[in-house]
A and B are shown apart, each in its own frame.
Chain A
Amino acid sequence: MIKLKNVTKIYELNKENRITALKGIDLEFKEGELIILKGASGSGKSTVLSLIAALSKPTSGEVIVDEKKISKLPDNFASIYRRDNIGFIFQKYNLIPALSVRDNIMLPMIPLNPHAKDIQAKLDKVTEMFHISHKLDVDVKNLSGGEQQRVAIARANVNDPKIILADEPTANLDEKLSLHFIEILRELKSLNKTVIIATHDPLFFGLDFVDREIELHNGSITA
């Protein structure tokens, strides 16, 4: 379903400063798989997620999702691809602090200009699923870290995407909330979504419902 073919990604900070994040890697993810990408900071985990989400383009190589070369998509088509296929849970959640929980979760739906009934139905579904329905009108800036993460997860799922990507999802959580997030992952897996988690948190290693663990080191796959 998702293929990375000989992908290299180089970030050019300026003319003299270039960082090679990925060095010609090949990866393949099947539909419904839950995969852990592990490795130290700077190993290239986040870059893999960014490329699959079409948030950036590879310097060379191809990213193919459902037989479509998404690495070649023009910007507007990349946005539509993300809207229809990807739910991204960012490390720092990337919520808009001054907006309410409801408004944050609605953001991916806005460009679709849906009917109010559809919006409400989708909101009800994800907020109940991720236990945040009692906070709908609260501004995100007034929520705890765990609540903010649940909002981010609800937002990632509101358009019912096939692929969920999570970048260091427990980096800002204590152990109790991290374990709760793992339970949410189990739920997502049961919904037959393809879930890819980039993390170096040992809590994720050796989980029974995880299909594969892939280790990256300095932009190359080591295991």
Chain B
Amino acid sequence: MINKYIIEYAINALLRQGYKSFFIVFVFTLLTFLLTSVFFITNSMKYELGSTADALPEIMIQDLKGGRHSDIDVSLVEKILALKGVSDAVARVWGYYYFENAGVYFSLVGVDTFEEQYSGTLSKIVSEFEASDTLSSSMIIGAGVRDIMTKSYYKEYFNFIKPDGSIKKVNIAGVFDTDTALESNDMIVMSKDNIREIFDMPQDKATDITVKVANPEEIATIVSKLELMFPTARVLSKDDIKISYENIFNYKSGIFLALFIISIFTFFIIIYDKASGLSSEEKKEIGILKALGWRIEDVLKEKFYESFILSLFSYFLGVFLALGFVYIFQAPLLRDIFIGYSDLKPSFELPFIFDLQTLALVFFLSVPVYIAATIIPSWKTATLEADEVIR
């Protein structure tokens, strides 16, 4: 049967400790908050990256000159299509356009309505173009792009500045929303001709070529064939691109690790302080309780409740704050650490991903550790003779 008086005593003890309890709650909450925030952001980013990776082409070929990315000849498409196992090859025209007023990059993606698109998102957008028949003079933009353009008073059209300094005016035909904001938020879709004009790219050139393979089991074989055919080009499979995405992401999370280590360090200072022994006042209190007839298990129960209440309260406070920080305020500062270069891109919403495993991981990394660190030194003191402790 639960002894409510021991629980009351434990709560009273926490309140009596005042600043000490407050400090531990503060550090514990901060640790839980940081850990949980990171896991929440990680989960959201993984979801976004996973969705983005799914939309990637199966194989992508880039031309390299001296190891540097260069525009590729459109004529190669015919040679690639002649390969057995290749079901389609499309020359893509795209690039990053820097909008100086807002200090952000837009991803300009070129489409031709007669071509089959390599991703579902693009197919959907192109079908809208076909319906409005405005491809030659207009564009469809992502929600993030719309917000930035509106701030600069571009509501119906946008003026792109070409390399020679002249202006290319393109009308805004619509705004698209897709399931993954990371993929499409900074995207502008327009005709390939318009993009060539904006980037001053010749008609016989493209940014890269995407290749579709009929049988996914043959992707590695086709990649090898393409590498032999075009020894100076870079041939990337979907998996290669996924890995490079994940590498960037892991690198970014490594920066956060530094922050995390600092908070872990602080947490373990508290643990060390607790584990290295109790203060003379704490020892004396245990001695008094034992002298008054408390058993070792009564003392340990009280210490358990004390540490459990404190750590559980801090845990839930940290998780609650992290939920608000990540999903309501969109993780300012931390988000930038993860997204890295993308902070030059239009902002996007972190999707709400609630993962019980994450919460359980944070719980087991913190609460039991703290409880053990509190109970062990109390047990050491409680097993001594009461007379020795009081003296």
Assess whether B246 is interfacial by the CB under 8 Å rule. no
Contacts of A109 in B (CB 8 A): 5
CB of B1 within 8 A of CB of A113, answer: yes
| A173 CB to nearest B CB, Å | 20
CB of B293 within 8 A of CB of A82, answer: yes
How many A-B contacts at CB < 8 Å in the complex?
A: 75
Contacts of A106 in B (CB 8 A): 5
Chain B interface residue bracket vs A: 20 to 34
| A51 CB to nearest B CB, Å | 9
Q: Which of A92-100, A176-184, A188-196 contacts B (4 or more CB under 8 A)?
A: A92-100
Q: Can you give 19 contacting A-B residue pairs, CB < 8 Å?
A: A55-B291, A55-B385, A55-B390, A56-B388, A76-B297, A79-B295, A80-B295, A82-B293, A88-B292, A90-B390, A94-B284, A94-B390, A103-B9, A103-B12, A106-B5, A107-B288, A107-B289, A110-B294, A113-B4
Assess whether B298 is interfacial by the CB under 8 Å rule. yes
Assess whether A50 is interfacial by the CB under 8 Å rule. yes
Assess whether A75 is interfacial by the CB under 8 Å rule. yes
Assess whether B173 is interfacial by the CB under 8 Å rule. no
Q: A56-B385, A75-B383 are in contact. Are A110 and B295 (CB under 8 A)?
A: no
Residue of chain A at shortest CB distance from B382: A75
Assess whether B296 is interfacial by the CB under 8 Å rule. yes
Contacts of B297 in A (CB 8 A): 76
Q: Which residues of A (30-56) have their CB < 8 Å from a CB of B?
A: 50, 53, 55-56
Assess whether B6 is interfacial by the CB under 8 Å rule. yes
B interface, CB within 8 angstroms of A = 1, 3-6, 9, 12, 16, 284-285, 288-298, 383, 385-388, 390
| B359 CB to nearest A CB, Å | 33
Contacts of A76 in B (CB 8 A): 295-297
Assess whether A57 is interfacial by the CB under 8 Å rule. yes
Assess whether A155 is interfacial by the CB under 8 Å rule. yes
Q: A75-B296, A76-B297, A94-B390 are in contact. Are A53 and B5 (CB under 8 A)?
A: no
Interface of B is mostly: helix
| A187 CB to nearest B CB, Å | 22
Q: How far is the CA of A3 from the CA of B298 in the complex (A)?
A: 29
Q: How far is the CA of A56 from the CA of B287 in the complex (A)?
A: 12
CB of B293 within 8 A of CB of A56, answer: no
Q: How far is the CA of A131 from the CA of B154 in the complex (A)?
A: 84
Contacts of B298 in A (CB 8 A): 79, 110-111
A interface, CB within 8 angstroms of B = 50, 53, 55-57, 75-76, 79-80, 82-84, 86, 88, 90, 94, 96, 98-99, 103, 106-111, 113, 155, 159
CB of B386 within 8 A of CB of A94, answer: no
Contacts of A83 in B (CB 8 A): 292-294
Contacts of A75 in B (CB 8 A): 295-296, 383
Residue of chain B at shortest CB distance from A55: B387
Q: A55-B385, A55-B387 are in contact. Are A107 and B16 (CB under 8 A)?
A: no
Q: Which 3 pairs of residues, A with B, have the shortest CB-CB distance?
A: A83-B293, A55-B387, A56-B387
| A112 CB to nearest B CB, Å | 9
Q: How far is the CA of A90 from the CA of B389 in the complex (A)?
A: 14
Q: How far is the CA of A223 from the CA of B120 in the complex (A)?
A: 104
Residue of chain A at shortest CB distance from B4: A113
Q: Give which listed residue, A94, A103, A111, A113, contacts B293 with CB less than 8 A.
A: A111
